[in-house]
Amino acid sequence: MNLYAQQASNIRRTWALVFGFLVVVIAVGYAISWYYGDPMILIIAVIIAVGTNFYAYWSSDKLVLSLNHARPASREEFFDFYTVTENLAITAGLPKPKLYVIDDLAPNAFATGRDESHAVVCATTGLLQMMSRVELEGVIGHELSHIKNRDILLMTVAVVLAGFVAIVANIFLRMSFFGGGRSNDRGNDNAIFMILAIVGIILAPIAAKLIELAVSRRREFLADASGALLTRYPEGLASALGKLGSYTAPMKSANLATAHLFINDPFGEKSSSPSSRGSSGFSSWIERLFSTHPPIQDRIKALLASQA
């Protein structure tokens, strides 16, 4: 798939995610309004769903930066960060994104924003201290590829929408536990509908999270390959990934809602741990299913194989 086809695919996926979110929230709102016999709840759910989608498009990047305690990076303090990003942005034909840093020893980075003109690249101070300039070019090339491929809107919007579905589901479950629903004048019909509603609301945030994770894992491989093409030096990113994988401590501000945005799992690399190596096939499959990132070693192999 070429770059333009990939960009178009990401736009379609974003619209599908937004539409799916609207359907889920309206369905949840209908279930709640039916249970409490109050149609106003459904109207409120529709208003909230539409408002959340607007917020996800215009301001989700600000939410992501706030959740990770990021601050603007000055050229004077982070000269290499600035110059590497400027040079690679010119090479990629992109406007220079805004630069932010997170004061954290754990090396990591991510890109966010709604489009090329409103993009942000954020790195931890640990990454900027650990990487050589060639390795930093590999990391920045990876993040600029997320911007060029239009991954950032899809992955950033997923933060808000998946999180909101989980919040709505939690609220409804708490309300149902405390009771207060319509009288059980329809006997088993009410009970069956209530069970189906609760099951659906439990599964909705899980499904949203799995979609978010699957999108992230697939995009990481593509951004690795695109970043290697941008820098013309896959070994730089491969070496950077090796350093990222060797640092197993989690970030101080690690957050489940934004973990899929980072170049590496902010909760620490687990693929090389003894427990992971000795796990059964089924447990390994489960671990990969709920992992925000593909294993570092798989990514390094893919990069080096492109040079063979």
Catalytic site positions = 143
Q: How far apart are CA 150 and CA 147, in angstroms?
A: 5
Neighbours of 74 (CB within 10 A): 12
| 273: Cβ contacts below 8 Å, ≥ 6 apart | 248
14-18 own/partner pairs: CB under 8 Å, 24+ apart:
14/153, 14/154, 14/157, 17/154, 17/157, 17/158, 17/161, 17/211, 18/53, 18/56, 18/157, 18/161
Ramachandran class of 149: left when φ > 0, alpha when ψ lies in -120 to 50, beta otherwise: alpha
Residues, the chain: 308
Taking the CB of residue 178, how many other CB atoms lie within 10 A of it?
7
Task: Tell me how crowded residue 148 is: count the other CB atoms within 10 A of its CB.
Answer: 24
